[in-house]
Structure 1
Amino acid sequence: MAEKTLAGKTVEVNDEGYLLNRDDWDKDLAAEMAKEDGIELTDKHYEVLEYLREKEAAGESLTIRKVGKSGITDIKGLYQLFPGGPLKLSSKYAGIAKPASCV
């Protein structure tokens, strides 16, 4: 476990960069995390992030298929928004734990 300064605040992250405390999350922090990976977050990105936070808080398991059926974006769109690991990256930027379905 390590500390990292993002968007002017120091947060605790695990070895893969996921926040350890979901309450540390805000949009500025998400934007900075994404920028480190070369992704500029748009309103559509934030819709996905809010959806993931809401579902995770409700105790639901997260899958790419579930996000694709959310009405926010389809699976192809999710891959375009978060290339190289859509659920893994979107969960990281949403400030939640990496889903069990992600390697």
Structure 2
Amino acid sequence: MTTRTYAGTTVEVNDEGFFTDPAQWREDMAPAIARDAGLGDLTDQHWQVIKFMRAEYESKGTGPTVRALGKTSGVTVKDLYRLFPKGPAKLAARIAGIPKPRGCI
């Protein structure tokens, strides 16, 4: 395992940068994770998706797929790809501090 420091807290991440313990994530870490991923400032739409991802993980034990995100998050699939261009479900999950959703490569 590797460690990264976000907002002054060191956390363990796997080889792909996903938190090994999602309970370590805090909202103030998200902007730094997004910058590491090559995104700019997080907008309200980014936060809508990030919070949705966290809620889905907490209720179902996994993050939603892109298809599920587009149908249930209130953000269209087209907008998801604009917001998270390198794979919306995977990138949003990483920024949200949850494991990679099932089905993501």
Q: TM-score, normalised by structure 1?
A: 0.92
Using the TM superposition, give the Cα deviation of residue 60 of structure 1 relative to its aligned residue in structure 2, in angstroms. Answer: 5.9
* Residues in 2 aligned to 1:80 and 1:17: alpha-carbon distance in whole angstroms: 21
Q: Provide the TM-score with structure 2 as the length reference.
A: 0.91
Indicate the SS of the match to 1:101: coil
Gaps of 5+ in 1: none
RMSD: 1.3
CA distance in 2, matches of 1:94, 1:37: 12
Deviations 1:29-87 (A, max 9, x none): 11101011221211111110111111111116511111111252100000000002111
- Provide the C-alpha distance between the structure 2 equivalents of 1:93 and 1:7, rounded to a whole number of angstroms: 13
- Amino-acid identity (%): 42
Q: Which residue of 2 aligns with 1:81?
A: 83
TM superposition shift of 1:101 = 1.0
What are the within-5 Å matches in structure 2 for residues 38-77 of structure 1?
A: 38-39=38-39, 40-59=41-60, 62-77=64-79
Question: Structure 1 residue runs of 4+, over 3 Å off?
Answer: none
Equivalent residue, structure 2, for 1:26: 26
Contact 1:17-1:92 within 8 A present in 2 as well: yes
Work out the CA distance in 1 between the residues paired with 2:47 and 2:14. Answer: 22
